[in-house]
Amino acid sequence: MSHDLTLSIDQPIEDADGRSTAVQKALCILETVLASDEPATLVEIASASGMPKPSVHRLLNQLEEVGFIRRDLSGKAYLPGPRWVRLASETLVAIGRQPPVREIMRNLVREVTESCNLAILRGTEILYVERVECEWPLRMQLQAGSRVPVHCTSSGKLLIALMEPDRRRRFIETLPFQRFTPNTITDREAFEAECETICQDGISINREEYHLGLIGVAVPVLREDGNAAAALAIHAPIFRMSIDQAQLMVPKLRMAAHRIAVVAGLT
C-alpha cells in the first residue's frame, strides 16, 4: 500500500541549539498524517518525518490524548482527530469572514446581480460562512451562519462530489435524503450519478431541489493541493435567471473563487 507522505515543511524551524522543538515535531507529524490519502502507520510517519520511532510514538500518543489524532479501526494507523477537523473548519469560517473575501463577493454580486454565498461542510449540512445579498426586493434572505441540507443545494452537492471516492461513498450512506421538492434527489444511486457529473463538469447546479422556483450554481474554492476548501455559489429565482443563464456566470464565479483562495492564503 503506497501513501503520499511528503511533508510540506521542507526545512523545519530550529531552536537556538539547532534542534527542532516539540511543537515543530508535532506539527510535522500532523502534516504527515494530513498528507496521506489513507491512514498512516507509525513506521510510515517516522520514515516520512525523519524522526525516531519512539519519539513519533510518544508524540502520537500526546496528540491522540488531546483529540488532534485518532486511530483507525485497526488501531494501527492514524487519522486526523475530531479536534483537528473542528479547528480546520473554524479556520475556514474565520477566513471566509475577512473583509477582503467579502469585498470579492460584493463585486461578484454587482456583476451577476444575484445573491452569492461562501459555504463549507458542517456534518451533513452546509454552513454559509459568508453571504452577500443582491439588491432585488424579491430574494431569499439567509444570514451568514445559516445551515441548509447538504444533498439539495449546489454547494453541498459540489463538496460531496469532490470528496475522495471512498469517503464520498461512506458520506452518502449517512444522508437521510429528505425530499423538499419534486426535484430533490432522494435515491442514493441517482445522487452518486449526479456526483460523477459534477466531477466531470467542475460545477454543481441546484435545479429547484431545496425550494421550488430557486436555482443555483456553485464552483469550488481550491487549496494549493487542488482539493476544495469551500464552495462559492450564486442563486436566483428561476423567473429572473434560468439554469442556462446561471451557467453563463460560471467564469465570473471561478475567477472570484480563485481570488478568494489567493487572499485567504489557500493557494
65: containing domain: 22-80
Question: Are 73 and 171 found together in one domain?
Answer: no
**pLDDT of 235 above 60:** yes
Rounded CA gap, 160 and 170, in Å? 11
Question: Are 151 and 48 found together in one domain?
Answer: no
Q: What is the torsional sign of CA 142, 143, 148, 152? A: positive
Confidence of residue 141 (pLDDT cuts 50, 70, 90): low
The string of DSSP codes covering 32-58 is: HHHH-SSPEEHHHHHHHHT--HHHHHH
Cα separations (Å) of 44 from 19, 20, 52, 181?
A: 22, 20, 11, 48
Rounded CA gap, 62 and 69, in Å? 9
Asked if residue 59 is part of any domain, the answer here is: yes
Asked if residue 10 is part of any domain, the answer here is: no
Question: Are 54 and 168 found together in one domain?
Answer: no
DSSP 162: T
pLDDT in tens, 71-120: 988 888 888 887 776 666 566 666 666 788 889 999 999 999 999 999 98
Asked if residue 2 is part of any domain, the answer here is: no
pLDDT in tens, 1-24: 333 333 333 334 344 444 468 888
Question: Are 160 and 94 found together in one domain?
Answer: yes
The number of residues in the chain equals 267
Domain edge (last residue) among 14, 45, 80 = 80
- Burial of residue 70 (CB within 10 Å: 0-12, 13-18, 19+) is middle
CATH number, domain of 60, equals 1.10.10.10
CATH number, domain of 148, equals 3.30.450.40
Asked if residue 6 is part of any domain, the answer here is: no
Domain edge (last residue) among 40, 63, 80 = 80
Asked if residue 151 is part of any domain, the answer here is: yes
Rounded CA gap, 114 and 235, in Å? 7
Domain edge (last residue) among 13, 45, 80 = 80
Judged by DSSP in three states, 25 sits in helix
Q: What pLDDT score does 138 carry?
A: 56
Question: Are 243 and 211 found together in one domain?
Answer: yes
C-alpha cell at 118: 461562501
Question: Are 57 and 118 found together in one domain?
Answer: no
pLDDT in tens, 173-230: 999 999 999 999 999 999 999 999 999 999 999 999 999 999 999 999 998 888 898 9
Question: Are 140 and 229 found together in one domain?
Answer: yes
Beta bridge partners of 120: 127
Cell 485497526 locates to 74
User: Do the Cβ atoms of 122 and 171 come closer than 8 Å?
Assistant: no
Q: How many domains does the chain have?
A: 2
User: Do the Cβ atoms of 221 and 119 come closer than 8 Å?
Assistant: no
Pairing of strands 40-41, 77-80: antiparallel
Question: Are 69 and 156 found together in one domain?
Answer: no
Q: What pLDDT score does 137 carry?
A: 61
Confidence of residue 168 (pLDDT cuts 50, 70, 90): very high
Asked if residue 17 is part of any domain, the answer here is: no
Question: Are 227 and 96 found together in one domain?
Answer: yes
Asked if residue 15 is part of any domain, the answer here is: no
Rounded CA gap, 141 and 252, in Å? 22
Question: Are 69 and 147 found together in one domain?
Answer: no
Question: Are 150 and 67 found together in one domain?
Answer: no
Q: What is the torsional sign of CA 50, 51, 57, 63? A: negative
Question: Are 95 and 75 found together in one domain?
Answer: no
